[in-house]
Amino acid sequence: MHWADVAAKALSHKGTKHIVSTGITPSGEFHIGHLREILTGDMIARAARNAGLDVEFVFIVDTADPLRKVYDFLGPEYEQFIGHQLGSIPAPDHEGNPDWQRFEEEGWTYGDHFLKPFLEALEQIGVRPRIIDNLESYTSGRFDQLAKIACDRADEIREAIERISGRELSEDWFPWSPLDSKGSLDGVQVTGYEYPHVHWLDSHGVSGSSDLRKGEGKLPWRIDWPAKWGWIGVTCEPFGKDHGAAGGSYATGREIVKLLGHEPPHPLTYEWISLKGQGAMSSSAGNTIGPIEALELVPPEILRLLVAKSKPNKAIEFDTGMSLVNLADEFERMAARNYEVELSDESLSRRQRVQIEDAAGAMRMAVVEEGKTAEATAVTFRHLALLAQTKQSDEEVWASLRTAGAIEEPTQSLVDRLKRMRSWIASKHFPLEMKISILEEPNQTALMELNDEQRQVLRALPAALAACAWDEQSIGGAIPQAAKDLQLSPKFGYRAAYSALLGKERGPRLAPILAEMNQETIVQLLHECVAALE
């Protein structure tokens, strides 16, 4: 069974109606790492629906969380907002300064600024959860009764946190963080409590009262999380390995939610997605690749497959270079398989059957529209990248694929893929090893580095390529044959061809590239290179 189906089966033993939840604090730009959490939740919800369960998927935006520091992408004016809730302060403008005009005219907040592009990416990737704004939930009274229980049972909650986490809370700790006289959660001392008011003294010497019913503050994280499980009715939630560690927030939350009168959700701990060579992604540190940016390069089903094919407890290393090319080509291979036929083979070993079932489940979860079947385009990413670099227009690309018998007419999926491919090639992310740049005129420096034997082969190449049939196989044979005819090593043929046509010693496979180019243009360039040596 696919890992999402395993989770769905576990839920089926606990009832037929479920709420799967994920949540993120919008402190900075959302990144591909965030997709692991929300896609994990989405895939569990899909699998549960496939199993006949009544499931809702919710996404909690933690706008009640405070701005913790002035991040590198923010201007110094944000110093005044440290400790203020993300849903109550202005969004940054393009220079990183507070956009007061938009905040006052439209109510456009810091949280909105980072959430909107992520929601646009989710729509493209087929994830459509119910959005829950945490700050609005506080101010509308959703947390009122649970906050009351937490404050009434403060000593029991303190004991649970200290016992499970192994750390000692401060003497003035209280299970409610009031907003101070300037709207900050920082530096506020609780001086008393009689429901619905928590009395406080702030760092400015001002005293006041926080009304639980109006959400004039918030619960600390280790209580806020289980309180959300309670009032929303969450029955399953995936979360990162930090929360799932021994003594972590899930361990304390599991006990606190019972003190609040509810049951803990079914957990699923996932590993991080890291950027190749850079470690775990971080919005606040700027170590990210955004989902919108990634979706400009590859179709959404490729990003879904990234998460779907890896068990949650397995770390994922992501990069926008060759790993993404390999993943896209893997999608094509997997989409072309007939899993029903493969599974009907009675001679399969248990291991083989599990592998096929996992692949079939991953493809079921990779498709953007739930219930649809993934379709192969019959064109690998590598070949499409080659065509996109050697053909000026889209119609030339389609003509080449028709001639090769790969397509009759381009599907909308293939049209979309070519558009993204051209964006990828034009971006900083396209892998250098796939970059094709046929010279328009001889590169004198590259030619001067050829030795006498390589120059001999270069002089023979124009005639050899002019005489061969202009297809990949013939070109691939003509280049080394030109060297063999001179009793020289075939590698001299490739060295001479790369220097003359690409201006470097080596590069991507030359024959398929040249087969997509104009024969007369290539032969003429070779003649010019020979003349440059004379």
Say how far apart CA 55 and CA 235 lie, in whole Å: 10
Joined together, the tokens standing for residue 203 give 């760092």
With the C-alpha atoms ordered 418, 422, 428, 434, is the resulting torsion angle positive or negative?
positive
Q: Contact at 8 Å (CB) between 46 and 119?
A: no
Instruction: Give CA angle at 33 (30, 39), nearest 5°.
Output: 95
- Rounded CA Rg of the chain: 30
Please name the residues in contact with 274: beta carbons below 8 A apart, sequence gap of 6 or more: 33, 280, 281, 315, 316, 317, 318
Q: What is the mean pLDDT of each run of 10 residues along the chain (534 residues)?
A: 96 97 93 90 98 98 97 96 98 97 97 94 95 98 98 98 96 97 97 98 97 98 98 97 94 98 97 72 57 87 95 88 88 94 96 95 96 88 93 95 93 92 90 88 95 96 96 96 96 95 90 94 96 90
Say how far apart CA 396 and CA 389 lie, in whole Å: 11
- How many Cβ atoms are within 10 Å of 495's Cβ, its own excluded? 21
What is residue 124's predicted lDDT score, i.e. its pLDDT? 94
Say how far apart CA 505 and CA 448 lie, in whole Å: 12
Say how far apart CA 28 and CA 21 lie, in whole Å: 21
What is residue 464's predicted lDDT score, i.e. its pLDDT? 96
What is residue 319's predicted lDDT score, i.e. its pLDDT? 81
Say how far apart CA 419 and CA 297 lie, in whole Å: 9
Domains identified in the chain and CATH numbers: 3-142+220-270 (3.40.50.620), 144-218 (no CATH), 381-434 (no CATH), 444-533 (1.10.10.350)
What is residue 534's predicted lDDT score, i.e. its pLDDT? 81
Number of H helices, E strands in the chain: 24, 13
**CA distances (Å), origin 140, targets 88, 135, 216:** 14, 9, 10
10 Å CB burial of residue 404 (0-12, 13-18, 19+) is middle
Say how far apart CA 329 and CA 408 lie, in whole Å: 21
